[in-house]
Amino acid sequence: MVSSSVLGFPRIGANREVKKAVEAYWAGKFTADDLTKVAADVKRASWTSVKAQGVDFIPSGEFSLYDHVLDQSAAFNVIPKRYVGLGLSPLDVYFAMGRGRQSEGVDVPASEMKKWFDSNYHFVVPEFSDETDFKLNFNKALLEFKEAQAAGVTTRPVVLGPISFLILGKASKDAKPGFQPISLLPKLLPIYKTLLTDLKQAGAEWVQVDEPILVLDIAATLEKKYAAAYAELAPVAPKILLTTYFSRLDSNLTFIAKLPVAGLHIDLDRAPAQLDEVIRAVKSTPIILSLGVVSGRNIWKTDFAAAIKLGQKAIDTLGPDRVVVATSSSLLHTPVTLASETKLTPQQKDWFSFALEKAGEVATIAAVLSGSQDPKVAAALEENNTSIAKRREFESNSDDTVRKRVAAITHDQLERKSPFTTRKEIQAKHLKLPKFPTTTIGSFPQTKEIRQARAKLGKGELTEEQYEEFIKKEIETVVRFQEKIDLDLLVHGEPERNDMVQYFGEQLHGFVFTQNAWVQSYGSRYVRPPIIVSDISRPGPITVKWSSYAQSLTLKPMKGMLTGPVTILNWSFPRADVSRELQSKQLALALRDEVVDLEKAGISAIQVDEPAIREGLPLRRSDWDAYLKWAVDSFKLSTAGVTDQLQTHSHFCYSDFDDIFPSIQRLDADVISIEASKSDMKLLNTFKHYGYSNQIGPGVYDIHSPRVPGGQEIKDRLKSMLDILPDSLLFVNPDCGLKTRGWKETEASLINLVEGAKWARENYA
């Protein structure tokens, strides 16, 4: 009989209960017990709702108050020295590692964050050294397994595998030169053995061990590590489901099939073509094959016929008892439930499937493959066939004007009129910025008052005219503050924007939007991605009115703010019926028109943010060139329609540029800003190594933490930057936008930033 499985479930709560509780705890309005109760309620609701969908293997242990990798670091005592001995509770140490802390005499920065593979989820990077003292502070997998049992649900515990845990980490500052975290594997394995032994003794039949790095090229160098590790773990553990996702196994399959594991999970949503090869590899082994046929990364209803075809192929060779129908990855990346959406049209709602509905899909597909005669299963199959046919009919419609415009793109449309060296001189005369010009990344704090005004507009409690007057006052407040502290290149603060992607999607043709389809980006930061459903075009100007108004308030130059085409694509739920390249270029053409209109309206600098360009990079190096070609071309297409005096900016965050630096250079932005403070400014050595020639603004402080950087801290960072970068190229700015910060910390931080720039001008004349 074919079983069904969910690899993970959203941990935010159907109504964002976890976000509200965590932020209440940070604000001192909730106790730790209050927070624990909310977490328990959300976990119990998740387990029981997935069970009610008929799923056989229900996950536990993957819930988190902040980040699951941070959870593992805390559980395994991977706690950097800077967080030890501060007199904090274990919970407050945990949150300090995630977001920093600056209160009650404690002042520590947050740990580094990175994107979780090619998703928009951020994880907190573990820090290792020769002195890392692994110990099991608590067995989270065991605790939640027992918690679920008490709620009447038998679960399959989830843990991040030992090799992925180490490879995803980094050497701490105090590590010896040349230290590699993977060298700690022999010290780490006893912790896993204890954890897994405890699970087995508690009655766990299976354990899901996530080893996502097995889809990366680097895994090929770790064959012996995997063989040794799992030979040691398998005898003491419950049955191990070795879990991979987001890409294909390729040559790594050869050694994976030899590991002493009971099951192997593969992602057939992102890499369906690997199925035949995997079946051949495991055919002669006892390994059970878990097929990720229901997408954990998108919101489209699964095509049951296609999924059943893949499942049947595996059954024909392995038999039904060795096949599991599963989500492709954790459903962390999808909203909780479609039931919360009341404003989608019946046609639109019929297209989609969120986490809870996807749990039902795996159960139904498994039932069909098991030969179920249940009339409800037959009805669900027929209903799905009808839904998919209707969606395919809708998808067959296209906008000929948009398609023809994409087809007519020429190389000349991708290039600025003059090289950077010429543009730099023209822009210097036009903008008249000082040395080490100061600016911000775009957004200013989204206050409670701004959110309330937006909500009142939506409810009809404010007229459009009243709302616009409110926004004008907010923009003027931001402009006057920037003038007061003497920032050089100003922004309007984006008070009118709900989200840097959603705002643009709402004013473009081709998108639909949800009310409650929230997904976690990091910590308590949740986003509501728009959904691309058809060809994309711009019916009219999007940002020109507000940028022009802001410029009318000041004699200083105002920077127009746009989100780039690749980021809008990657931070939306994209279409599945056409290529990402086509969608990206449609977005680029819409943004190109906006950029041209902004320049015509008197805006002299325009920032087109692409924080997701690195995140969208395929996980296999052999796939990089094709992606980078259309991704970079999309950015250039959106920015190259202006005159030489228009200064183009772009922003990137949490990106490892080493491997794609030629593509960063090919973007040809006049100024790029990058995250630097959290990563110990290691990125700057990459720029020095490759001889980056355009202007650059490495972030001088981390905006994802509420702590205010001291003035000397910023000066020290600038000094470190100037040891690496030419002073003629340096801009001074924060790491990222200030939307999630409060005004008090924003004011103090930016005052210190401006003072740091003035210090640099005095000392690096």
Determine, yes or no, domain membership for 450. no
* Same domain assignment for residues 427 and 360: no
Average pLDDT over residues 720-735: 92
* Same domain assignment for residues 311 and 410: no
Determine, yes or no, domain membership for 463. no
* Same domain assignment for residues 24 and 141: yes
DSSP calls for 699-725 = BSS-TTSSPPPPHHHHHHHHHHHHTTS
Q: How many CB atoms lie within 10 A of CB 662?
A: 10
Determine, yes or no, domain membership for 127. no
Are the beta carbons of 96 and 40 closer than 8 angstroms? Answer: no
Average pLDDT over residues 250-265: 98
pLDDT above 80 for 688? no
Are the beta carbons of 704 and 735 closer than 8 angstroms? Answer: yes
Residue 66: the pLDDT is 98
Domain end position, chosen among 377, 396, 415:
396
Q: Strand runs (DSSP E) across 480-632, as ranges?
A: 509-512, 519-522, 525-527, 531-537, 559-563, 605-609
pLDDT above 60 for 182? yes
Residue 611: the pLDDT is 87
Determine, yes or no, domain membership for 87. no
Residue-number span of the structural domain to which 594 is assigned: 400-445+479-764
| All residues at 6 or more sequence positions from 458 whose CB lies less than 8 Å from its CB, including other chains | none
Average pLDDT over residues 734-763: 95
Average pLDDT over residues 475-490: 98
Q: Strand runs (DSSP E) across 336-401, as ranges?
A: none
Per residue in 58-67, pLDDT (tens digit) is: 999 999 999 9
Residue whose structure tokens are 């328990």: 40
pLDDT above 90 for 719? yes
DSSP β-ladder status, 288-294 and 323-327: parallel
Cα–chain center distance at 565: 16
For 751, phi then psi, to 5°, come to -60, -45
Q: How many helices (H) and strands (E) does the chain have?
A: 27, 23
Q: List binding-site positions for 5-methyltetrahydropteroyltri-L-glutamate.
A: 19, 120, 571
* Same domain assignment for residues 392 and 487: no
The SS3 call for residue 139 is: coil
Say how many residues make up the chain: 765
* Same domain assignment for residues 347 and 415: no
* Same domain assignment for residues 72 and 186: yes
Q: List binding-site positions.
A: 19, 120, 441-443, 494, 571, 609, 651, 653, 675, 736
Per residue in 625-639, pLDDT (tens digit) is: 999 999 999 999 999
Q: How many CB atoms lie within 10 A of CB 59?
A: 25
Per residue in 607-664, pLDDT (tens digit) is: 999 988 988 999 999 999 999 999 999 999 999 999 999 999 999 875 567 778 888 8
The CATH number covering residue 499 comes to 3.20.20.210
| All residues at 6 or more sequence positions from 430 whose CB lies less than 8 Å from its CB, including other chains | 604, 645
Q: What are the distances in angstroms from CA 316 to CA 238, 530, 564, 620?
A: 28, 39, 46, 30
Q: Which of 733, 763, 729 is nearest to 749 (CA)?
A: 733
Residue whose structure tokens are 């604000």: 27
* Same domain assignment for residues 573 and 683: yes
Pair of tokens at residue 50? 């997935």
* Same domain assignment for residues 571 and 492: yes
Average pLDDT over residues 31-57: 98
Rounded to whole angstroms, how far apart are CA atoms 60 and 9?
Answer: 9
Rounded to whole angstroms, how far apart are CA atoms 236 and 200?
Answer: 8
CA dihedral 314, 317, 323, 325 (to 10 degrees): 10
* Same domain assignment for residues 644 and 515: yes
Of 24-38, 331-345, 712-726, the poorest mean pLDDT is in: 712-726
Confidence of residue 724 (pLDDT cuts 50, 70, 90): confident
Determine, yes or no, domain membership for 712. yes
Per residue in 194-233, pLDDT (tens digit) is: 999 999 999 999 999 999 999 999 999 999 999 999 999 9
Average pLDDT over residues 305-317: 98
Average pLDDT over residues 600-608: 97
Domain end position, chosen among 396, 411, 428:
396
Confidence of residue 675 (pLDDT cuts 50, 70, 90): confident
Alpha helices in 27-161 (DSSP H): 32-52, 68-75, 90-99, 140-150
What number of CA atoms fall less than 13 Å from residue 499's CA on the CB side?
17
Determine, yes or no, domain membership for 632. yes
Residue 680: the pLDDT is 57
According to DSSP, the residues that pair with 157 across neighbouring strands are 60
* Same domain assignment for residues 382 and 314: yes
DSSP β-ladder status, 170-171 and 525-527: unpaired
Determine, yes or no, domain membership for 181. yes
- Domain total in the chain: 2
pLDDT above 90 for 765? no
Rounded to whole angstroms, how far apart are CA atoms 33 and 595?
Answer: 51
| All residues at 6 or more sequence positions from 419 whose CB lies less than 8 Å from its CB, including other chains | none
Residue whose structure tokens are 């005369």: 429
Confidence (pTM): 0.93
Rounded to whole angstroms, how far apart are CA atoms 283 and 322?
Answer: 10
* Same domain assignment for residues 657 and 704: yes
Residue 692: the pLDDT is 83
Q: Which of 329, 338, 269 is nearest to 296 (CA)?
A: 329
Residue 716: the pLDDT is 93
Rounded to whole angstroms, how far apart are CA atoms 559 and 543?
Answer: 11
Domain end position, chosen among 396, 424, 456:
396
Q: Quick one: DSSP state of residue 396?
A: T
pLDDT above 70 for 422? yes
Catalogue the active-site residues: 704
* Same domain assignment for residues 436 and 372: no
Determine, yes or no, domain membership for 282. yes
Rounded to whole angstroms, how far apart are CA atoms 713 and 374?
Answer: 67
